[in-house]
């Protein structure tokens, strides 16, 4: 028979909170959304800061893995605007109130840590470890902290003042020594300084090229690697570009390149990508923003030749391809035989990024695989040289800011365990979990279980002409407080869990009758979960989400709840005459450095 569900396992309800489960940093999303609805913006910011470290930055630039997971998107087209609500907290929080809540720095504990790179992963590690008394030396070749957040995200998406504020919250904590404009050319030299731990957080700094494509060398003066070009723009070295610009690639970097180009003088800017439009790696909203600014995207075009005249780039030749998919969804691009030429003055190549570690000597004891990537323990991020760790894009290849933050938290835990003499740092401290009833009366809850029927609210954009005239004018204006409140009301409160107490149930089926999604069933148990799923009032076909199964009841049936379609509305608990159902707020927080004592 299918065993009763162990709801005391913290991962069970964690998985039910789909948005938090999908977030690499496991941010308690419904909790901060409720706080926004209550206009407790600094509290909402603090919930974010503990988990994702950069609420204002991520509220503008996050890749939003939480939103496709949002339960609201299962009952209507659009999920809750989780990312933009994060920005509401950041835009309206009190700086002075927040600064009073920053962690106090413990006395120095005598341990020294070097962080190579000042991007989101390294900054997260510094945030987690400096309050524990670790002395941090952070190295970066840029003149100021932020890493790729500063060099590769244009100011019209991420204003400099927002970036500076959140980076400086960390750099000003204490026990952090900044070594900016310092290029680390040898890891051996860093190791010679006798640090207790070293973290490589240098990102994926090498943009991919097409070195063998005909005409590449002849046209090199007008062909630019996308991420290098964006960095040059960010630090004021590049201030213009040709009138006709082709951007090769279909990711977010390509979108940033094309939108930056039209702000630096490009009047005929095109994005040209090999893949079909729907397969592009760029986030849908990034493609929408580019097209809103009048930039066409030409898909199914494979570059074949840089065309030069008198030693100068004049065009790029493309072959038109067509996508075919097999039964497993694997794509093959086949030539159609048709070619086309697009004239251009400059080409920006945004066709991917790679890791690069020429400065790490290969005789230090750090192992590298066939792709020249470090061989790491995937749980601890520890290399074969025990006191050297990797984090962010440097660990497993290019990802995004929120993943780098998650890596930073994990590496912080690893270093704290390692430097406190733990033999097995893969054995992680458990998450912090607590739950409590939301019941205030017979039909009253301490959370608002009346869900707004409104569709997703649209965020206002600055006037297009103003945006294109100034590269530093932020395009998205963010939600107003009122819009933030209204959008917050769309959240289903998925962290308020339905708790079933078997010995109180009289099997009256009142909960079954009132449930708006038919997610509750009282049925005979089965040996096979697959069969049990099909026997429910509404078949539970999404096996990625668990079932809540009770023990045997008086009639030898079991209560089965399909967590996948529950709206957390609380109607079952309101209708139940014996209080067998309760609504309990569930708070889950991943362990951070300093929580290692929980393991002992």
Which pLDDT tens digit goes with each residue over 368-424? 999 999 999 999 999 999 999 999 999 999 999 999 999 999 999 999 999 998 878
pLDDT tens profile 316-353: 999 999 999 999 889 999 999 999 999 999 999 999 99
3-state secondary structure of 487: helix
**Residues 311, 272 within the same domain:** yes
Asked whether residue 598 carries a pLDDT value surpassing 70, the answer given is no
Q: How many domains does the chain have?
A: 2
**Residues 126, 225 within the same domain:** no
| Residue 149 to residue 118: CA distance in whole angstroms | 10
236: Cα separation from own chain's centroid: 28
- Residue 105 dihedral angles phi and psi, to the nearest 5°: -90, 125
**Residues 123, 170 within the same domain:** yes
CATH number at residue 279: 3.50.50.60
Contact 392, 121 (CB under 8 A): yes
Q: Is residue 297 part of a domain?
A: yes
Q: What is the mean pLDDT of residues 296-320?
A: 97
> Sorting pLDDT into bands at 50, 70 and 90, what band is 447?
confident
pLDDT for 599 equals 46
pLDDT for 347 equals 98
Q: Looking up tokens 């030409």, which residue turns up? A: 298
pLDDT tens profile 97-143: 999 999 999 999 999 999 999 999 999 999 999 999 999 999 999 99
Distances (CA, A) of 543 to 164, 498, 539, 540, 590: 44, 19, 11, 7, 25
Q: Where are the beta strands (DSSP E) in 310-451?
A: 312-325, 331-343, 346-349, 353-354, 388-390, 432-437, 439-441, 444-445
- Residue 492 dihedral angles phi and psi, to the nearest 5°: -85, 0
Asked whether residue 443 carries a pLDDT value surpassing 90, the answer given is no
Last residue of a domain, one of 314, 335, 351: 351
> Sorting pLDDT into bands at 50, 70 and 90, what band is 450?
confident
Contact 257, 226 (CB under 8 A): yes
pLDDT for 440 equals 81
Instruction: List helix spans (H) across 154-283.
Output: 160-171, 187-191, 226-234, 252-263
Classify each residue of 239-274 as buried b or exposed e, where b means 16 or more C-beta atoms within 10 Å of its C-beta: eebbebbbbbbbbbbbbbbbbbbbbbebebbbbbbb
Percent of the chain with pLDDT over 90: 92
Asked whether residue 449 carries a pLDDT value surpassing 90, the answer given is no
| Residue 222 to residue 473: CA distance in whole angstroms | 27
**Residues 264, 182 within the same domain:** no
For residues 367 and 424, which has the higher predicted lDDT (pLDDT)?
367
Q: Is residue 466 part of a domain?
A: no
Last residue of a domain, one of 306, 326, 351: 351
| Residue 185 to residue 174: CA distance in whole angstroms | 27
Tokens encoding 254: 């390509």
pLDDT tens profile 64-92: 999 999 999 988 899 999 999 999 999 99
What global pTM score does this model have?
0.94
pLDDT for 422 equals 83
- Residue 168 dihedral angles phi and psi, to the nearest 5°: -75, -25
| Residue 356 to residue 206: CA distance in whole angstroms | 6
Asked whether residue 504 carries a pLDDT value surpassing 50, the answer given is yes
**Residues 273, 220 within the same domain:** yes
Q: Which helix (H) or strand (E) holds 557?
A: strand 557-562
| Residue 595 to residue 572: CA distance in whole angstroms | 37
Q: What is the mean pLDDT of residues 179-186?
A: 96
> Sorting pLDDT into bands at 50, 70 and 90, what band is 441?
confident
> Sorting pLDDT into bands at 50, 70 and 90, what band is 600?
very low
> Sorting pLDDT into bands at 50, 70 and 90, what band is 597?
low
Q: What is the mean pLDDT of residues 277-290?
A: 96
Q: Looking up tokens 């569930």, which residue turns up? A: 586
Q: Is residue 397 part of a domain?
A: yes
**Residues 225, 335 within the same domain:** yes
Last residue of a domain, one of 418, 434, 451: 418
Q: Is residue 295 part of a domain?
A: yes
**Residues 146, 241 within the same domain:** no
Q: Is residue 248 part of a domain?
A: yes
**Residues 150, 257 within the same domain:** no
- List of residues 6+ apart from 310 with CB closer than 8 A: none
**Residues 185, 118 within the same domain:** yes
> Sorting pLDDT into bands at 50, 70 and 90, what band is 595?
confident
**Residues 394, 308 within the same domain:** no
- List of residues 6+ apart from 152 with CB closer than 8 A: 227, 230, 231, 234, 253, 256
Q: Is residue 535 part of a domain?
A: no
Q: Give residue 319's domain range.
A: 207-351
pLDDT for 234 equals 95
**Residues 328, 365 within the same domain:** no
* Residue in 389, 388, 415, 391 with CA at minimum distance from that of residue 403: 391
- Residue 102 dihedral angles phi and psi, to the nearest 5°: -60, 145
pLDDT tens profile 190-246: 999 999 999 999 999 899 999 999 999 999 999 999 999 999 999 999 999 999 999
Contact 265, 288 (CB under 8 A): no
For residues 75 and 559, which has the higher predicted lDDT (pLDDT)?
559
Q: Is residue 587 part of a domain?
A: no
**Residues 396, 261 within the same domain:** no
Q: Is residue 233 part of a domain?
A: yes
Q: Which of 34-38, 71-75, 370-374, 514-518 has the lowest mean pLDDT?
A: 71-75
pLDDT for 596 equals 57
């Amino acid at each position: 028979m299918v065993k009763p569900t162990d709801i005391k396992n913290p991962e069970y309800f964690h998985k039910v909170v789909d948005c938090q489960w999908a977030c690499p940093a496991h941010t308690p999303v419904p909790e901060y959304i409720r706080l926004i609805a209550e206009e407790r913006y600094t509290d909402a910011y603090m919930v974010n800061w503990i988990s994702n470290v950069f609420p204002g930055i991520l509220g503008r630039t996050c890749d939003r893995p939480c939103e496709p997971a949002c339960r609201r998107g299962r009952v209507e087209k659009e999920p809750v605007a989780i990312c933009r609500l994060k920005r509401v907290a950041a835009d309206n929080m009190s700086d002075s109130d927040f600064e009073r809540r920053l962690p106090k720095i413990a006395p120095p504990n005598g341990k020294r840590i070097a962080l190579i790179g000042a991007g989101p992963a390294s900054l997260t590690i510094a945030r987690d470890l400096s309050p524990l008394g670790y002395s941090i030396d952070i190295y970066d070749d840029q003149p100021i902290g932020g890493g790729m957040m500063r060099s590769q995200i244009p100011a019209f998406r991420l204003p400099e003042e927002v970036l500076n504020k959140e980076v400086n919250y960390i750099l000003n904590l204490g026990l952090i020594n900044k070594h900016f404009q310092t290029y680390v050319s040898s890891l051996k030299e860093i190791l010679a300084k006798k640090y207790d731990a070293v973290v490589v957080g240098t990102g994926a700094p090498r943009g991919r090229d097409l070195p063998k494509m005909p005409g590449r060398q002849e046209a090199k003066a007008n062909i630019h690697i996308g991420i290098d070009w964006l960095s040059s723009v960010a630090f004021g070295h590049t201030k213009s570009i040709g009138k006709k610009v082709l951007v090769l690639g279909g990711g977010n970097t390509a979108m940033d390149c094309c939108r930056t180009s039209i702000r630096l003088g490009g009047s005929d800017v095109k994005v040209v990508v090999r893949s079909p439009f729907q397969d592009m790696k760029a986030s849908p909203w990034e493609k929408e923003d580019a097209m809103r600014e009048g930039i066409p995207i030409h898909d199914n075009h494979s570059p074949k030749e840089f065309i030069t005249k008198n030693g100068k780039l004049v065009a790029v030749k493309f072959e038109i391809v067509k996508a075919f998919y097999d039964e497993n969804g694997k794509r093959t691009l086949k030539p159609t035989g048709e070619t086309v030429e697009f004239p251009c003055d400059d080409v920006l190549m945004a066709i991917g990024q790679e890791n690069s570690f020429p400065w790490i000597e290969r005789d230090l004891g750090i192992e590298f695989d066939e792709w020249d990537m470090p061989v790491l323990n995937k749980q601890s991020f520890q290399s074969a040289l025990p006191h050297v760790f990797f984090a962010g894009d440097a660990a497993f290849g290019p990802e995004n800011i929120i993943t780098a933050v998650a890596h930073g938290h994990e590496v912080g835990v690893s270093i704290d365990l390692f430097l406190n003499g733990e033999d097995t740092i893969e054995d992680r401290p458990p998450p912090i979990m607590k739950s409590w009833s939301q019941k205030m009366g017979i039909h009253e809850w301490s959370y608002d279980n009346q869900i707004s029927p409104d569709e997703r609210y649209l965020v206002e954009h600055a006037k297009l002409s103003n945006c294109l005239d100034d590269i530093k004018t932020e395009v998205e204006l963010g939600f107003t407080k009122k819009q933030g409140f209204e959008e917050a009301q769309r959240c289903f409160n998925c962290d308020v869990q339905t708790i079933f107490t078997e010995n109180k149930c009289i099997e009256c089926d009142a909960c079954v009758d009132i449930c708006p999604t038919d997610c509750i069933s009282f049925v005979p148990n089965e040996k096979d979960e697959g069969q049990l799923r099909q026997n429910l009032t509404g078949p539970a076909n999404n096996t990625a989400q668990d079932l809540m199964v009770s023990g045997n009841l008086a009639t030898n049936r079991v209560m089965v709840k399909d967590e996948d379609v529950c709206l957390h509305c609380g109607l079952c608990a309101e209708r139940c005459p014996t209080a067998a159902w309760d609504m309990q707020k569930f708070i889950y927080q991943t362990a951070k450095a300093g929580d290692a004592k929980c393991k002992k």
